[in-house]
Structures are given as C-alpha cells and as structure tokens.
Structure 1
Amino acid sequence: MKIDDYQLLVHLFENQTIRATARKVLISQPAITQRLKYIEEYFDVLIFLRTPKKLVLTAAGELIIEHAKQLLKEERAVHAQVAHSKGVVSGKLSLGVSSLVSQHYLPELLEAYTAIYPAVSIDLITGVSEEIRQAASDFHVCIVRGEPVKDHHYSQMFSDPLYLCDTKPIGGNETRPFIEFKTDSEFLKLIEGWLLNKKGLSIKRSIKVDQFETAKQLMKRGLGMTVLPQSILDPECRELPHLALEDHNHQLTRETWLCYQPRIRSLPQVDTFVRFAENKSWI
C-alpha cells in the first residue's frame, strides 16, 4: 500500500462516487476502479458497497477509512516537522574520542558547540586511541592521538611535545620507579625506544596504571617518574624536574587528529562540528 492509495480511499469516502472522485483527482474511472479492487484485495475485505447512487462504507471499510485518515494526518505532521527543521542543525552526532582529549578538552568544546546547536544529540565513546581507530566505522567523527584513522580524511588538531617528569633530579644515581600507563602500542614503542637509548637513566618498572592522569598524580607525590605530554602539564608539574624527549636533537611529540569519512561530512551536524573543532585553539 502506498500513501496515494490511502488518499484515494479518503477521496472516495468524501466524494461518495467513483465518477466524482475521478473528476477530483483527474484519474479515469476505470483506473480508480482497478486501484480500489487492488486495495480491497490487499485488505481481503469489501470496503465500499456499490449502489446506483453512491458508495456505502462497510463495517470493515469504516475501520480502514479511519486508519487512512490517521495515516495521512501523521504524514502531514512529518512533512511539517521536516519543513520546520530545514536550516536547523539537528540529528545525532556520534563521536569516538581519545581519553586524554575527552578529559582535558572535550567538555569545553561540547559545551560551546551544544550552546550554538542545541538540537544536536551527542553520542560519545571515549577510550585509548587504538581502540577508537579500530571502531572508527561506528562514529561520525574520531579524535585520536598518534596516527590518524586509515581511509579517513584527517586534519591535525595539535602537536604535543613529550617530557619525562619526576619530583627528583633526573639522571641521578638513584634508580627510580617508572610509572607506565595504558596506551596504544605505537606510543609504547616510541617511549621504549627513547628509554633504551637514554644513557645515565636508571629505572625499575614497578607501577602500571590506567591512564596519563593517574600517572601524573602518582608522579607528583614522589612515587616515580613518568612520560607526560605537554598538554596535561599543570603549573605544579612545570616547576618539577622534567626532561624533553628528543631524538637526534628533534623533540618527540604526540600528534592529535580529527578524522572522518568525506561523505559523512555532508550531514550538517558533522560539518558544523568539524568546522567548530578545526577553528578551536587547542593549546
């Protein structure tokens, strides 16, 4: 059944004859008779009794006409809502975001974005960047650190220099605990390579935590040293001993990327969020 079939039933009910309905909808009488036959076969009931003067509704026909009127009313309501929504950015925005970005930057970003686009509904998943990359097809937009998402369009949000931080002078004779944290394998390799080549640094691996922020808080309380990105170094950390991670006099950094599939950007809520994020000053 098409919406036009329900509209035809209402026209037949209102005009009471096939002839009058044909004049109203500009369709031939045989064509209307054939469509009515199809509709009655679809419901497997007789909807109208054909009398010499007019069409008379059967009991089943009364139910079907009420259903047709309600359906057409709902159809008009949907059209009105769609017309009203034109020019209004709305819909669901699905985001997969690195834990570090979600902790330190995303709340402010989403607060500002939803203030401008209140009709947009936010779906958010946060986690390790590697997990977000693996599930990238589930999101409209991904914000990840390290490497961008393959087969996606991407733009760099910011570059994050890395530092080894401690409460005690770095490179002394004392063997210090090294506080490890959960992160992607690519970043672990970067740190491992730097530690392996750093001479005069004596560490022991005795603490492993869930994320950067936990490692930072343990480090600040003198429980060991850890590697932290510049973006989460608070004023207290900057006053503590810290050493830039360098390779051949080149500062090692952690890149942050905004990633999405180009076709997805045609959605207004995605396009506005991408432009909003790209125009933000992150550090």
Structure 2
Amino acid sequence: MSSISEFHLLSVLAQEMNMRKASERLFVSQPALSQRLQTIEKEWGTKLFIRSQKGLALTPAGEHVIQFVNEVLGKEEKVRETIHSLQSGVSGTLKIAVASIVGQNWLPPVLKKYSDTYPQAKISLITGWSSEILKSLYDDQVHIGIIRGMPDWKGVKIKLFSDPLFLVDRDITRPEQLLETDRPFIQFKSDSNYYQEIQDWWMRQFKTSPKRTIVVDQIETCKQLTFNGLGYSILPGITLNNSEKEIYKVPLLDENGESLQRDTWLLAYESSFKLKQVQAFVDLIKEHSSQSSE
C-alpha cells in the first residue's frame, strides 16, 4: 500500500496534469517523479495516468484511486488538526470561506490581528459569493463561513454586524430624482438574494424598473464608475467610508421607514469549535465587533 507521501504525489499529479509542473511543486526531477509513479502504478497493478503531448490524463482506474487518495489526505489533515488542538497554544490551520465583499473590506484587519496574536496558526482563505461559501461548508472544506444576507443554516449562526444600503451618486440627493434622470443604474454581480432586496425596494418605491442598467463584474468597478459620474448605484455601507468627496449617500428605507440593512453572519458546525484555532478566531471576532460598535 502506498504511503501518505505517495498519496500526496498522486494528488499533486492529478491537480497539475503535467509532469514538469508537478515535479516543480514536489521539488523532484522529472525522471525521479516518473520512476516513483511507475513504482506506485505497479503497486496498484494498473496504469493510473496516460501521457500525451498535452500532458497527463487519468485512466478510469486512476479516477477511482485519486478519489480514494484525496479522501485519505482529507482525513489525515483532520487528524493532524485534532492533534494540534490537543497541544498547548493555538496552532493548526484555520480554514475560512468569506463573501468577497467582507474579505475585501472588513476581514483584513481581523486576520492581521489573528496572525499577530497566534503566529503558530496558519490561515487558509477562500472568497466568493455567499452561495459558494455555503457549499464550502456543506462539503466540509472549511471550518468557518462568513456570508451576507439571511442564511438557511442549521448549525451555529453568529450575527457579526449589519450595514445600511445607500443610493450613491454625484448629483442625486433624493430617491424621487431617479425617475427624472436618464443616467444608468450601475449594478455589480452578486448573490440572487441581494438582487431581490434591491428589486423589492425599487418596486415599492417606483412600481417600475430602471430606465437603463449597466451590470459589471466587480463592486469596485461599480464604485469607480459611480464616483466618476457615469451613473448611480446602490452600495452597502461596508464598501463606503467618509473619504468619498462630492458623493451623495442616501440611505435606503424599508416599508416602515427604517434603514434597509444587509446582515453579515458567521456560520460553522458545532464540532469546529472544538479546534483551538477556530475558537480563538471566533473570540477575536467578537472582541473586534464589540470594539467597532463602541
């Protein structure tokens, strides 16, 4: 049976599908890597990879072996994390998946403080849309997920903060003026529940859709187009600060006349809190949130 180091070799080969790139990641020569692969294939009694000019391709048997290899490596990592959690101090890898907007605007100082406080701990960070964060949690790829909007989650849920939504423009100071302008509404791609919040607000206000719309991939692009007067946008407060000059920020109000808020939540399974690096991160976040609200 192959050893853990050989499982790691197979996993890297399956990720790269290229002998040269895999040998560089593994810090071995290509001939040495080729020889080790032949030995492993003899142990399994079958070819796992097929070579071609374009690189490597998995055989049907290879697909089954790589699936098994990745499962074993995943379990090995969990055992190592458990061992780390039993030792004194905070170490091991903290795996976080965070909504991109939070990762860009709120998370950096939190991670900096965590790294300074617990230098022995490592951080693995994934960013994406909230729907992708939930999938990472369901697939057990991360310890903690931080998402935007109301989560459908049966595990531990901790509300971190709420930030208001603003109508942002260089000229418009009241929502009613949106019906008078021919300039476009600039939107950034996001999760469907965010779109739904904006659409609900718009229909309550105007009973009609915007005259013109521009959709961009990134929220930063949306901001810069708005700040330069190409149109107006609706942005969450987390992306704005007091440094914006000559920009009007009009709070969006709900049907009760209260500020429309976007919530940010921390999600995790109860078992994750048994890991010291996870509990330490959650404690630090709570401290950070309480200080920010003062």
Q: TM-score, normalised by structure 2?
A: 0.63
Distance 1:278 1:240 in 2: 32
1:223-253, CA deviations, whole angstroms, 9 ceiling, x for partnerless residues? 1111111122122447522322112212211
How far residue 200 of structure 1 moved from its aligned partner, in angstroms, is: 9.4
Gap runs ≥5 in structure 2:
1-82
Q: Secondary structure at the match of 1:96?
A: strand
Q: How is 1:7-156 mapped onto 2 (pairs within 5 angstroms)?
A: 86-136=87-137, 137-148=140-151, 150-156=153-159
Residue of structure 2 in register with 1:258 after alignment:
266
Q: CA RMSD in A?
A: 2.2
Q: Secondary structure at the match of 1:138?
A: coil
Residue of structure 2 in register with 1:66 after alignment:
none
Q: How is 1:194-273 mapped onto 2 (pairs within 5 angstroms)?
A: 194-199=201-206, 203-237=210-244, 239-248=246-255, 249-273=257-281
How far residue 174 of structure 1 moved from its aligned partner, in angstroms, is: 2.0
1:91-149, CA deviations, whole angstroms, 9 ceiling, x for partnerless residues? 11100001111111211111110111111111110011121112213210111110235
State which structure, 1 or 2, has the greater radius of gyration over its C-alpha atoms: 1
2:188 pairs with 1:181: yes
Distance 1:188 1:267 in 2: 36
The aligned amino acid for 1:131 is: E
Residue of structure 2 in register with 1:28 after alignment:
none
Q: Secondary structure at the match of 2:170?
A: coil
Gap runs ≥5 in structure 1:
1-81
Q: TM-score, normalised by structure 1?
A: 0.66
1:148-201, CA deviations, whole angstroms, 9 ceiling, x for partnerless residues? 351220111111111111111243322220111111111110101111222399
Residue of structure 1 in register with 2:284 after alignment:
276
* Residue pair 2:169, 2:227 contacting (<8 A) in 1 also: yes
Percentage of matched positions with identical amino acids: 38
The change in CA–CA distance for 1:88 and 1:277 in structure 2 (over 3 A counts) is same
